[in-house]
A and B are shown apart, each in its own frame.
Chain A
Amino acid sequence: MTDDILSRTTALDATHRALGATMTDFAGWSMPLRYGSERAEHVAVRTAAGLFDLSHMGEVTVSGPEAGAFLDHALVGHLSALAVGRARYTMICDAAGGILDDLIVYRLAEDRYLVVANAANAAAVLAALTARAADFDADVRDDRDAYALIAVQGPRAPEILGRLTDADLAGLRYYAGLPGTVADRPVMIARTGYTGEDGFELFCDPADAPALWAALTEAGRDDGLVPCGLACRDTLRLEAGMPLYGHELSLATTPYDAGLGRVVKLAKPGGFVGRAALAAAAERAAERPPRVLTGLVARGRRVPRAGFAVVDADGAVVGEVTSGAPSPTLGRPIAMAYVDPAYAAPGTEGVLVDVRGTHESYDVVALPFYQRRK
């Protein structure tokens, strides 16, 4: 295979190649798809720990006296109310209420936030934030090249990371972050992830990334920690019922249509971009429920894929699969799908997926498919 010379590489590119990773182009980045078996990597994260390079994610720093007020205006969440050191899952919408991206926003200081966007949307998010900042005393800085991002995820993650840092990991709550030192390198340690497991995301100087990766690999050697690629990241997030932009979320979808209306804070002070359209979308959703994001578990072995039609017993289309994969944890194919409300209740009979012309029976289940024991 030839490498796409247009792909950007992360600071860990040489590390991945030395590990024999199968690389793939993802949103313009050359990223590890898997190092060996993606199912083994998936199982390692569920039972031990996995190490991920997420340096393709797009970081934007927002700072200034009105940083909080600006983000309240630019995003659908109430970020000025976020405590310093905490993080929030939120979205940025256009004026019509369509989702531009889903984001995690960390409040690093009273007047400073770190916005983390999906790689594919990072440029659009940066442009929208910059345009929306015009009337605020806030600075929007492109920090995509300022950070590498390494995640260590899985039940063994706290012990592994704990060997390399004096930071108070036990006191670090889910969706919180704190500056610290890991293997003698300055890092922002966040207790976040996209796997459905406990774990951490480490924002670091790209120059420190190879040394951090090596230190984490060594620290986790006896715990079953393995390097993990994007293939297992996708099945992990799917089992955890977490949406992925481009699949469950899109510009054509409002947060209410995605069943994520809770992230929209219509009552926050001041207006925000998309508010009128989102208020209308909230009313519409209450009066005439849109298709519901639903979990489907296959009774057979053929795998539903994004775009496949969900049909009723008569073959009438009642929904569409947005993500599907064989689930290593359940041992059966699973899917998330937008389904007409009449078919979305767990246990509904007569729900099938058109798998390349054959209608295969599915069980309708509540999301997520997998929830870790706490």
Chain B
Amino acid sequence: MSNPEQLRYSKEHEWLSAAEDGVATVGITEYAATQLGDVVYVELPEAGAAVTAGEPCGELESTKSVSDIYSPISGTITEVNQNVVDDPALVNSEPFGDGWLFRVRADEAAGEPDDLLSADEYATFTSE
């Protein structure tokens, strides 16, 4: 299982892309998708909603459990991935690709969270 180098990772097992024009993409990691098992239902925040780093903003249901989705950063949702709502299996098959969850414009006043991990740090975190 390899975690893309260019992403940053939260301890809640979300990944965050580098921002383009101030907007970053968020998904869950392959590790998280494997732990969850088959995802059957995804509930995402609505475009325009404000999200706060570390607070739940959606849900992922799998066969055995439900998990909260957290945004790794505070900001405003600019877009959600309707494809994963329609086909939740994308979260399992392409967690770092077509299974992305939402895009968020960072709230600059909130600043950058300092607890995000690099790919290597996240790999260490999940092997502990």
Would you call A39 and B34 a contact (CB within 8 A)?
Answer: no
Report B91 CB to chain A, min CB distance, Å: 12
Q: How far is the CA of A326 from the CA of B38 in the complex (A)?
A: 10
The segment out of B58-66, B75-83, B105-113 that lies at the interface is B58-66
Q: Does A251 contact B (CB under 8 A)?
A: no
Q: A231-B64, A235-B63, A325-B63 are in contact. Are A37 and B41 (CB under 8 A)?
A: no
Would you call A302 and B64 a contact (CB within 8 A)?
Answer: no
Q: How far is the CA of A38 from the CA of B43 in the complex (A)?
A: 21
Would you call B34 and A326 a contact (CB within 8 A)?
Answer: no
- Write out, one digit per residue, whether chain A residues 211-244 have a CB within 8 A of any chain B CB (1) or not (0): 0000000000000000000010011000000000
Chain A interface extent, by class = 10 to 19
Q: How far is the CA of A301 from the CA of B41 in the complex (A)?
A: 6
Would you call B34 and A302 a contact (CB within 8 A)?
Answer: no
Q: How far is the CA of A231 from the CA of B38 in the complex (A)?
A: 10
Which chain B residues lie closer than 8 Å to A305 at the CB level? 65-66
Would you call A37 and B92 a contact (CB within 8 A)?
Answer: yes
Closest chain B residue to A303, Cβ basis: B61
Residue from B37, B40, B66 in contact with A231 in the complex, judged by beta carbons closer than 8 Å: B37
Which chain A residues lie closer than 8 Å to B61 at the CB level? 301-303, 326
Closest chain B residue to A326, Cβ basis: B40
- On A, residues with C-beta under 8 Å from B are 22, 33-34, 37-39, 231, 234-235, 301-303, 305, 325-326, 333, 356
Return 18 A-B CB contacts under 8 Å, by A number: A22-B37, A37-B38, A38-B37, A38-B38, A38-B63, A39-B40, A39-B63, A231-B37, A231-B64, A234-B63, A235-B63, A301-B41, A302-B61, A303-B40, A303-B66, A305-B65, A305-B66, A326-B63
4 tightest CB-CB pairs across the interface, nearest first? A326-B40, A301-B41, A39-B38, A303-B61
